[in-house]
Chains A and B, each alone.
Chain A
């Protein structure tokens, strides 16, 4: 319980650490914040070229929005994916890169991970703002659905924070966690409906005479649901299935609880090991 009151008492610290992350990120770069937008746009350009133009991936028609654009379809999945990917990558390094602070000052160390995720939330909000503007330009009246998107972002933040907490402490003890995560992220990227719609995934796969319910397994991945939910709200303009929201919420609570437990278990000797 004292840990929790620590959190409340150090809200100012969380805000300050987040500001540090945000201010520090694009210091000494001419374009500054523009980079956080240019990056996904460049990705969209190259993926559109490869998947839409070369490989002829057909984007689904938004229902009920009627929107049909590969670039927008891609962006609606890519923005939440980037939040997940950056959250894991930056969150897991947040303890090691602040080793000096951990060795010299006491404060709840969870805040280092939290502030990293918090700063990414800010980036995500900016990206969502720009995405909404683009969607509006293409006639997608996304405004009434933005509260749903914000709820999804809250759930995703809890989900990512939980995973990042566990990864960050593991990374203190084994530095190769970061390399392992880099590989897993690649696998996850292509096993999520980001550059292709879910309808491309076969319902069954037949391997050596055994029938595997591939789509079912595919759908177990909470990230698939996250992306589907974001896309429902932003691209299709409809309310995501309640079952999906329940599913990702349960996952978020699960990873959060696991992350906190892991962190609480392993942060005893953090100042010595980092």
Chain B
């Protein structure tokens, strides 16, 4: 099997400017351009991506995976090493980049298609298909500035996916549009995969990556940690970050800006004792201790429970619950009280996040940092993940009172 992409000892440095002064005067006064520190985003990464594979890049924020994807897309140029690609590349980094708001959807399809490397003839042939896929036939002649953001993204995706690339680069943009459109996208990906295209995906979503990708590369602080079979890498990544964290909350992947921190995660039983084993149907409380350096306006706490093999079971947050204080400072804790824990027996992981009200800025994210066991309880069930707590009726059975 030949390689579609060969990444050979790739280095990439970024300049972090201490003062962003772009003026000539400042440069002359200082005798050079603004002072900067260099930051290695990629430190000599090498691997090969065989033709026809779906290849994932995983790693924490700042691990360099998006930088690497941009280098493959030739948007960034490596400072050292080289990347050889075979075939035509299309990158889904931002959908609808280059759309001109004043131009019509039709004009923008031609423009965007050309930017992505399609010839006029190809575009003419595929035009109807692109518009149909986006589901925008009746709006195609109005200016895109009148489009909703969903329509905008759908058209962008539709053009990009119809470029007919040999190599498709995707940066966490799989979740676009409504559910129906998402299904169409997944089908399109499956189709591309079957027709032997090489797909490179960057994502945080380990569960999705495991099912979507054949092979994965795990990056950490700009270094390649491991590359190999998807299932194997995900397991390794999980065990790596899950070691010994059953009782305390000090392990797991963690990211965020750090002005506010989740210092501790606890699971309390009905009597308020910290435990790590509970039973189905128990009354429990999840307690999240926080420490804030500053006065935070409208902070939002969120939590998620995953099964050990990565299924996302639930993800409540205080914003959706309308439980957001005007401000919060110092330290304390927030509780999520659960009257009946409806998880069936198994091993579960808790993640907690502390974000701002827009949910765009993450102060602290502790991904799968607390593990607990659920044992058989009431109702007594063992299949699936949750119990619905339903009652069977209608059969001639004597129900013991």
CB-CB under 8 A from A107, the residues of chain B are 115, 117
CB-CB under 8 A from A28, the residues of chain B are 102
Expressed in whole angstroms, the Cα–Cα distance for A19 and B115 within the complex equals 13
CB-CB under 8 A from A27, the residues of chain B are 102-103, 143
**Beta-carbon nearest neighbor of B110 in chain A:** A16
Is B91 an interface residue, CB under 8 A from the partner? yes
Q: Which bucket holds chain B's interface residue count?
A: 20 to 34
CB–CB A173/B117 < 8 A: no
Q: How far is the CB of A10 from chain B (nearest CB, A)?
A: 7
Q: Which bucket holds chain A's interface residue count?
A: 20 to 34
Q: How far is the CB of A211 from chain B (nearest CB, A)?
A: 35
CB–CB B97/A175 < 8 A: no
Is B27 an interface residue, CB under 8 A from the partner? yes
Expressed in whole angstroms, the Cα–Cα distance for A269 and B380 within the complex equals 61
Is B259 an interface residue, CB under 8 A from the partner? no
Is B98 an interface residue, CB under 8 A from the partner? yes
CB–CB B22/A173 < 8 A: yes
CB–CB A20/B111 < 8 A: yes
Q: How far is the CB of B14 from chain A (nearest CB, A)?
A: 6
Expressed in whole angstroms, the Cα–Cα distance for A98 and B74 within the complex equals 17
CB-CB under 8 A from B94, the residues of chain A are 100, 104
Expressed in whole angstroms, the Cα–Cα distance for A13 and B111 within the complex equals 7
Is A106 an interface residue, CB under 8 A from the partner? yes
Question: Which single member of A12, A98, A102, A176 contacts B114 (CB below 8 Å)?
Answer: A12
Is A206 an interface residue, CB under 8 A from the partner? no
Expressed in whole angstroms, the Cα–Cα distance for A20 and B33 within the complex equals 35
Question: Which single member of A19, A24, A101, A174 contacts B97 (CB below 8 Å)?
Answer: A101
CB–CB B115/A105 < 8 A: yes
Question: Which single member of B15, B25, B33, B75 contacts A104 (CB below 8 Å)?
Answer: B75
Is B174 an interface residue, CB under 8 A from the partner? no
Expressed in whole angstroms, the Cα–Cα distance for A106 and B93 within the complex equals 11
Q: How far is the CB of A8 from chain B (nearest CB, A)?
A: 12
25 intermolecular pairs with C-beta atoms under 8 Å apart: A12-B114, A15-B120, A16-B110, A16-B111, A16-B114, A23-B103, A24-B100, A27-B102, A27-B103, A98-B98, A100-B94, A100-B98, A101-B97, A101-B115, A103-B75, A104-B94, A104-B98, A105-B115, A105-B116, A106-B74, A106-B91, A174-B23, A175-B22, A271-B76, A272-B14
Which 4 A-B residue pairings sit nearest by Cβ, starting from the closest?
A: A104-B97, A16-B114, A27-B102, A106-B74
> Which positions in B face A, CB cutoff 8 Å?
14-15, 22-25, 27, 33, 70, 73-77, 89, 91, 93-94, 97-98, 100, 102-103, 107, 110-111, 114-120, 143
> Which positions in A face B, CB cutoff 8 Å?
10, 12-13, 15-17, 19-20, 23-24, 27-28, 98, 100-107, 173-177, 180, 268-269, 271-272
- Given A10-B117, A173-B22, A176-B22, 9 other A-B contacts at CB below 8 A? A19-B111, A23-B102, A104-B94, A105-B73, A105-B115, A106-B75, A177-B24, A271-B76, A272-B76
